[in-house]
Structure 1
């Protein structure tokens, strides 16, 4: 643990250069590097003179901690004053909190809040949180009002330190890029060339090309970070290395962007007119099939820019290729020295280091693997030992000598492992994505010391997962090498089976089957998705029954995240299945029907569900039958076949009442819908409230939020505006917490109707404009707009129309904050 870090109440300072990409383009790589170095010198001098402790740097951004808020404020003002005469302008954010001190720095919500505050500032501007402003008596502060910070529900009051004139605070697009564990080194010339290409030609698709180990991914992340300021629609990273099916490329991109479907039109609708950058990493193994979907989305919207990495070009219209060469000689030496000094501080820039870098073709990954070995071997010894392996390459006719060099380096590093390390290295290749320590122990018999040794040798990486857990993974080039060893081993089948069985266990523990909705943890499924897919792919070829069991355990995961993929997978497994147990077939058909319904194949879904129901009745399985009866009742509800709805719902309730609570809860909603068709609004409200209350009692928040929305609309129908607003706000809070954009749109539209009934045309227009703009990206909105908007669609009051137009510029969650009364000062 670092002993120099301030503890207790700490003020964080975050900086970032404004317009760094344009600055690089205008100054050129050499002058830009000088300006960047001077900027770092000036900032570090200002921080140090006010007791600041540098925590981290990423690119041209600083993260610094101060023991007091006045010291941080003084340092920020001194830094800006010192930069005033140069070309660099930095945005600065300050926030004060009581963070937790961890091994390498600080952790906690205050770190993220400080970074979000800085992101809103302009170059030369210092923005401070309310917590910091309260500690700055006597400092010149300008109240900037309430503003929403990304990833925080509540609006935050912000102030400006100093009296300078600046435009309104920025609303930057989100930047969702990986955070590498080490800093970016070198590549100034290549970055300048790539930045210039983007500014001068603005290609729809830019492909970074090079062999494995060249640093394509790291370069693409840095290039995307530099250009993120131009992407008002956001910047996202889509890794394709874990995928094996080119049909999932659009699915992966759609999910990262929050599109309503894995289709080019849906992705284009989600993006709208806001420029959006998508980094698509590791395309080569999915070519040529993946080129078509990428070309389709590139052509579907002029606002999208694709930055792809691949060992070969996509060869699609609009693509520009950028060949990434090895590091320059001085860059390679600097890179090797920095990595080597992390494990051995006395490594010096000798001739042996230069010769070693040259022998390794100045490939970053090869240099990193060699540097990891300097803990035991000096560069001179490394050169001698590794040189023997590289000499074997002389005279070969490998298609790419750089690739051969890298393979030889990986093989050499592998050969130095002891037998236990080699065995674990090989077995870890079974994971397509990443794994926790517990999973590595179960699937691979991993020993903590052996795993730590592979980490030390840079053959395995470590990162924080989506749930805050520690996960282990391999670079794709290294995993390919390990996978070759695994497939040649006698126990490869055992490793694959243990992996599939572990994925089944994880799915069951996460409650993803739908049998217990309160235990449903989709976030666990999302964290393991690539390995769930890998297990299913293996099972389809080697154990269909295990594959079907896994699909059943994942039923609600597919329903919630990717019904089309779920439908395809369970259908293919059923096609391969011969004679299987009746219960297994009934459950699999239930999954097939549910996923088909949500994938839009509703006639097929009804046929399959009816077949499933027949088998459940044969088995006298009341739970299974009740679940399918509910789904068939919903299908009848869509067709407005009310007698069939009643028949199926009542049978389902007879089987489930007092026994299968989640199915019973769903049935009360359908009974409420039947009451509504009879004109009994009060009866519909009573049954819907019963459904919502029972869902709340068992923690089924997803269903509860939907029922609260239904109560909002029923209250509007009965003329009770107070109840409508109360139920609508409760629904919206749950929907926002679950990031359920679709249902939030519907609820905002309902709350807009309530505001219009009250005569608050300003509020009604703002909420309707935001909802209508968000929903316009949905393929089904044209058919639903009149139903969801009601009187809003035909309202002609000029104040309402003006507010609606302003609402269209609001982010969905900003509009939600207005609807909840949290963000009044940011209403345009």
Structure 2
């Protein structure tokens, strides 16, 4: 396939000049042409995207200019190239596109373009006709969901990605590739999809509604890979198709989804000669199975070619492998050592004696199992042990992780590097080279079929349970090692490391949850002992599944928060808090109190204030009983702010005073820094700026000592608000610059969003309303990306204030009423008061 040149970007200066001549903002233009997301206007001006015909016409009407005068004419070639794209996009009707936010709904998300389809490292052999057929289906207006069906190893994923490349220019908003290889729980499909769409959730609005909102009116292809283990989530796909008229879905699966919208496309094996009759060597290249074998053999032995002598063996090998690409690649990988005839002889032996014990599997799956086992039997015993234990990993793993885990399981010395090299040479292991910006060392992983075989072999050898337990323990130790360092100067490194092994964390936590009692009756059957009763008993108690699940959830909390994986964390926190066992064990009670604090904090962030109160209150009670001062300080501040939102200001102040005394007594500088910030923010909200400044200065001092850049950047944004309240714009600007640098170094969007809030406050203080509107538009777009509905509403209050100052009372009323509706729904009384006060000012100005 010819590589396309990167698209040149030509800014539209004419459109921008006409807008600025009228002193209009991007939002002004968007409102006039009934465009849902105002940042799109900026992208048109920068040349990043081009308006659809519907919007080009509206722009000409609004500006009273021709298309040429607005820079909206394309060349003939460019017009023809985009004609199918424009036709494919649904044009919103003016009757259904709101001019302003509707109560309870966020504004329409930014225009998106997604392209995360994996690049191929090898040539694509023999399936151009299939690519064309699938492309034809996906461009048929009556077909919305296509499932590529076939056994493991048939090449469904590769065919799907080739189709995506072929249709890249067709889908205007791109292609989103989502792999479900690491999960088997249908309940995780939605959050996995949201993460692939970079929709980091943290809002009271249901996650499904957030995804629908992002995809609505988009012309986009979802490529859902390895969906068979989560196919019970197929109704979710139908629901998305109903609501999002512009999307199409391409699924790879071993099993039919049984969806009403589904169009089944069976992926056939590669073409092989029908009979073993004599063939001329050059004729065999016409068969894609033979061509694939030759290409892969040459990767290991550059001189390999078809001869009259080896042709019959090649034909029979491909016939016996049913033309399955993965099976062919496994066999061809041995061509460096064995001739085709020798390979055929070994293949005959393995097929005769090695039959899969999995009688429930389809015949073609059993053939793949046999092929893997045949390759497995070529290994030395130590290499076989290594191969099957690599199946414990859910995804890519570093050499360090592999060495540490497998060494703990082996009773014999291991030559890990040599063993991995052998598995790589035999195509039983894959190597992933890190991209720029990721940790530098390569990662190793098994293909799904290989991993499945490895787990079955572990089970047959009686090694699976012990291996999974060691895997879960290893990653529990890793996250507990990382937890304190995520609050230190090593924060960036550990964030990247945990991101890299996110699939392993999920599998390990799930293992503990599944082995924990979920009700009091089953909990009574689990033996718990006091930590003080002895080292040996304490070791057993420490690994009790419930305790470990709680420890895991607590240790992962900072990672989830920094990355904005709030829906994922919400799922796990509720799961572990539903577990029972260890109620009388101090160590278990202590960690449960910490998880309750974490859950209460997240519930507060999502504005589930009733649930936040319950969890924080329980955390306070348990922490007091355990004398866990650090957690008690955090729980007290969380409970105080929950009460503050519910207008219980006196009680909130009492709890904050206690939290500060507790943090000071704990001797923990990180706890003290964060408690000082929360108390200082309370004083700021109450209008006590001098007291707030004193508290924030002390908070910044301790935060710098700890080295937690995330906390420092966040605390600095609170300090900015205090400086601006006292008219210190210059100092506020300096603090904002520092917090912005810290946020950019960490690269976490939730933190970048907070810094953007500070920048908006500064330009508002400078009465630069044009810049403030632009920044507010950017902040709304970022809040939509994060799913941060509370912040969206707070930005509407700012826009309402600006509109009031500029005399646009209608717009001011729309903004503020939208925010008020949301705050009332969440019972957020402090912000309700702000919105009502601003509405009163608008009414007075009328």
The normalised TM-score by structure 2 is 0.70
Shift of 1:453: 0.9
Any residues of structure 2 matched to 1:728-747 within 5 Å, and which?
Answer: 728-742=736-750, 744-745=752-753, 747=755
Aligned twin of 2:499? 526
Any residues of structure 2 matched to 1:170-569 within 5 Å, and which?
Answer: 173-201=113-141, 203-261=143-201, 263-271=207-215, 273-288=217-232, 290-329=233-272, 330-349=287-306, 350-390=311-351, 400-445=362-407, 447-465=416-434, 466-511=438-483, 519=491, 521-542=494-515, 543-544=544-545, 545-560=547-562, 561-569=564-572
Q: Assess if the C-alpha contact under 8 Å between 2:185 and 2:229 holds in 1.
A: no
Aligned twin of 1:106? none
CA distance in 1, matches of 2:681, 2:355: 77
Q: Assess if the C-alpha contact under 8 Å between 2:633 and 2:675 holds in 1.
A: no
Q: Which has the higher contact order (CA 8 A, sep 6+)?
A: 2
Q: Assess if the C-alpha contact under 8 Å between 2:721 and 2:761 holds in 1.
A: no
- If each structure's strand is expressed as a fraction of its own residues, which one has the higher value? 1
Q: Assess if the C-alpha contact under 8 Å between 1:693 and 1:704 holds in 2.
A: no
Task: Evaluate the alpha carbon distance shift between residue 394 and residue 578 of structure 1 in structure 2; reply closer, same or farther with a 3 A threshold.
Answer: closer
Task: Evaluate the alpha carbon distance shift between residue 292 and residue 614 of structure 1 in structure 2; reply closer, same or farther with a 3 A threshold.
Answer: same
Task: Evaluate the alpha carbon distance shift between residue 221 and residue 720 of structure 1 in structure 2; reply closer, same or farther with a 3 A threshold.
Answer: same
Structure 2 residues without counterparts, runs of 5 or longer = 11-44, 50-74, 83-110, 273-286, 408-413, 516-543, 812-846
CA distance in 2, matches of 1:744, 1:395: 53
Shift of 1:375: 2.1
Q: Assess if the C-alpha contact under 8 Å between 2:491 and 2:709 holds in 1.
A: no
Any residues of structure 2 matched to 1:751-790 within 5 Å, and which?
Answer: 751-752=759-760, 754-755=762-763, 758=766, 760-775=768-783, 778=787, 779-780=789-790, 783-789=793-799
Task: Evaluate the alpha carbon distance shift between residue 451 and residue 765 of structure 1 in structure 2; reply closer, same or farther with a 3 A threshold.
Answer: same
- What secondary structure, in the 3-state scheme, does the structure 1 residue paired with 2:333 have? helix
Deviations 1:398-421 (A, max 9, x none): 874433322221121122222111
CA distance in 1, matches of 2:689, 2:743: 25
Task: Evaluate the alpha carbon distance shift between residue 495 and residue 618 of structure 1 in structure 2; reply closer, same or farther with a 3 A threshold.
Answer: same
The normalised TM-score by structure 1 is 0.71
Aligned twin of 1:700? 708
Residue 792 of structure 1, aligned match among 798, 802, 805: 802
CA distance in 2, matches of 1:518, 1:318: 49
- What secondary structure, in the 3-state scheme, does the structure 2 residue paired with 1:536 have? helix
CA distance in 2, matches of 1:379, 1:258: 47
CA distance in 2, matches of 1:394, 1:513: 50
Q: Assess if the C-alpha contact under 8 Å between 2:601 and 2:638 holds in 1.
A: no
CA distance in 2, matches of 1:324, 1:246: 24
Q: How many residues align?
A: 651
Shift of 1:209: 1.5
CA distance in 1, matches of 2:170, 2:805: 36
Q: Assess if the C-alpha contact under 8 Å between 1:233 and 1:271 holds in 2.
A: no
Structure 1 residues without counterparts, runs of 5 or longer = 1-58, 62-89, 92-117, 123-144, 150-163, 802-828
CA distance in 2, matches of 1:557, 1:454: 33
Task: Evaluate the alpha carbon distance shift between residue 199 and residue 729 of structure 1 in structure 2; reply closer, same or farther with a 3 A threshold.
Answer: farther
Q: CA RMSD in A?
A: 3.6
- What secondary structure, in the 3-state scheme, does the structure 2 residue paired with 1:374 have? coil
Deviations 1:178-201 (A, max 9, x none): 234323333111111112222233
Task: Evaluate the alpha carbon distance shift between residue 735 and residue 305 of structure 1 in structure 2; reply closer, same or farther with a 3 A threshold.
Answer: farther
Task: Evaluate the alpha carbon distance shift between residue 673 and residue 443 of structure 1 in structure 2; reply closer, same or farther with a 3 A threshold.
Answer: closer
Deviations 1:339-359 (A, max 9, x none): 111112232222322221122
Aligned twin of 2:649? 642
Q: Assess if the C-alpha contact under 8 Å between 1:119 and 1:172 holds in 2.
A: no
Aligned twin of 1:615? 622
Task: Evaluate the alpha carbon distance shift between residue 491 and residue 661 of structure 1 in structure 2; reply closer, same or farther with a 3 A threshold.
Answer: same
- What secondary structure, in the 3-state scheme, does the structure 2 residue paired with 1:309 have? strand
Q: Assess if the C-alpha contact under 8 Å between 1:567 and 1:596 holds in 2.
A: no
- What secondary structure, in the 3-state scheme, does the structure 2 residue paired with 1:409 have? helix
- What secondary structure, in the 3-state scheme, does the structure 1 residue paired with 2:249 have? strand
Task: Evaluate the alpha carbon distance shift between residue 605 and residue 756 of structure 1 in structure 2; reply closer, same or farther with a 3 A threshold.
Answer: closer
